[in-house]
Amino acid sequence: MLSKTAERGAIAISAPGKVLLAGGYLVLDRDYTGLVFGLDARIHVHVQTLPTCDGLILSEIIVRSPQFRDAEWRYGYRLTEDDGGIQVTQLKGHSTSSQSRNRFVETALAYALTYVSSLAHESIEPASITILADTDYYSHAGTSESTTTQAKKRFPDFNVPLTEAHKTGLGSSAALVTAFTAAVLSHYLPPNAISLDTESGRARLHNLAQAAHCAAQGKVGSGFDVAAAVYGSCIYKRFSPSLLEGLGEIGTTGFSNHLRSLIEGTDPMKKWDTQINKSAVSVPKGLKLLMCDVDCGSETVGMVKTVLNWRKDKPEEAALLWAALQKGNEDLAGELRRLAQLPEHSAKDYEDLRVVILTIRSLIREMSEKAGVPIEPRAQTELLDACSRLPGVIGGVVPGAGGFDAIALLVEDKVEVVTELHSFLDAYKVDATEDGGASMGKVRLLGVKQEMEGIKAEEPEPGLYSDWLR
């Protein structure tokens, strides 16, 4: 039996961002895997009971993302007939904020409440939900306060509407949907109904967040970003995309039951086959994984489609390339593991690591050329080569789908290495115009590094959230 909402305290949950260091495109196919790292930039979701005045109960859930302007969404919710689940409807208020939709929030809320209502038949009480993102998810030239004041705050004021925020590609929607789903479940369900500390609790969270994220996105990707948000760094083998087929829409007959059996894997025809291998992933002491945001504004739409079409057209050639890349990616994880097992203070030789990174890069360039897609375009080759020549930089790659947007670097974890990298990048400009990109771009070293831990219940220290709560 659920305790009364009024007796429930506030809760907060956070999930990490991601970088797919190796396995872009391959990971879309279950025959291959991706080496994904969680990052220490997290999205936090805080839930508290919505105070109601004079006993007046409104069926309303307010979601705010107060680091952004006009980022408040108010939802009414109701249990639909014929087991259709919980439908949420955005309430149009007076303020401009209530005019825009946030599909990721709306879908995560509807899916999570539907799952809650399928487990517990009490009414769903009003709540106030606050989203807070770590600084590196967005480039925030528009921050309102001085850097010194900002530095004191864990969560900066980005001072722009969400639509104008420049994303750095750390996977904000996956971290958001995952932390949001976990927070709603933890708020409304008693601990014995779901616990994020158990394997089965995390698996159900994973399944629900994947389903909601795909529904909000309107497409089924490999889901490595949601997996990283739940499990943290891992070698990821995707779920069969057919699992999410035929789920139907909220409000249609039987949706709630379908969702519950999908999430819990009780339908023998719909068994989740995601594979998460955490023990195979480590970063040796003495090294760290860094990310750079490349501001080229050249997001290439349809890269995935073009690569997959080429693979379909040239199955034999592609099979050889995919096999070589998969081996390279496994070698990379293996070499990182080998180095991690060496005693902490032993002198480490990073030569093999350098070589395996260069091998992967050359195979990715082959994929680029053959498929005709700028995965590691020339401008990025130059940047990666230049960074790799700096002292203490072992090497780097274009992560995920590649393109002009970002690079990931493995560097020695020493202050002087990062300082030199910083000053080198400050003076560096990527010229994307020659190979089909839109512009010249600055490169910015983000303040993030790898993070092993996935979803996490936060025990907020006093003041961590209070500046932002209402």
Ligand X SMILES: C[C@@](O)(CCOP(=O)(O)OP(=O)(O)O)CC(=O)O
User: Is residue 300 a contact point for ligand ADP (CB under 6 A)?
Assistant: no
Distance, CA of 437 to CA of 57 (rounded, Å): 54
Question: Under a CB-based contact definition with an 8 Å cutoff, are residues 430 and 403 in contact?
Answer: no
12 binds ligand ADP (CB under 6 A): no
Nearer Cβ to ligand X, position 194 or 448? 448
Strands 166-167 and 72-79, by their bridges, are unpaired
Based on the shown chain and the rule CB under 6 A, indicate whether residue 403 belongs to the binding site for ligand ADP.
no
Which window, 154-162, 357-365, 395-403, 419-427, contacts ligand X (CB under 6 A)?
395-403
Asked if 176 touches ligand ADP (CB under 6 A), the answer is yes
Size of the site for ligand ADP (CB under 6 A): 15
171 binds ligand X (CB under 6 A): yes
Closest CB 178 distance from ligand ADP, rounded Å: 11
Alpha-carbon span 85 to 226, nearest angstrom: 23
24 binds ligand X (CB under 6 A): yes
Binding to ligand ADP (CB under 6 A) within 133-152 occurs at 133
Rounded CA separation 380/407 (Å): 8
In the complex, what is the shortest distance from the CB of residue 29 to ligand X, in angstroms, rounded to a whole number? 9
Examine residue 322 and tell whether it contacts ligand X (CB under 6 A): no
Non-local CB neighbours of 227 within 8 Å, separated by 6+ positions: 36, 206, 210, 234, 236, 274, 276
Residue span binding ligand X (CB under 6 A) among the ranges 218-226, 243-251, 318-326, 427-435: 218-226
160 contributes a contact to ligand ADP by CB under 6 A = no
Site for ligand ADP (CB under 6 A): which residue of 47, 160, 174, 182?
A: 174
Q: Which is nearer to ligand X, 225 or 376 (CB)?
A: 225
Shortest Å, Cβ 40 to ligand ADP: 16
Cα 103 to chain centroid distance, Å, stands at: 16
Among 181, 222, 256, 300, binds ligand X (CB under 6 A): 222
Q: Is 37 in the site for ligand X (CB under 6 A)?
A: no
Kindly state whether residue 221 participates in binding ligand X, applying the rule CB under 6 A. Answer: yes
The closest alpha carbon to 325, from 95, 63, 23, belongs to 23
Interatomic CA distance for residues 329 and 133, integer angstroms: 30
Alpha helices in 218-314 (DSSP H): 224-231, 255-264, 303-313
Residues 296-315 that bind ligand X (CB under 6 A): 304
Is 118 one of the binding residues for ligand ADP (CB under 6 A)? no
Taking CA 208 as the corner, what is the angle to CA 206 and CA 209, rounded to the nearest 5 degrees?
A: 65
| Distance, CA of 46 to CA of 129 (rounded, Å) | 6
**CB nearer ligand ADP, residue 71 or residue 375:** 71
47 binds ligand ADP (CB under 6 A): no
What is the distance of C-alpha 417 from the center of its chain? 28
Contacts (Cβ under 8 Å, ≥6 apart) of 467: 153, 155
* Phi, psi (deg, nearest 5) at residue 31: -80, -5
Report the interface residues with ligand ADP, using CB under 6 A: 65, 102-105, 131, 133, 162, 167, 169, 171-174, 176
Report the interface residues with ligand X, using CB under 6 A: 20, 24-25, 27-28, 169, 171, 221-222, 224-225, 304, 399-401
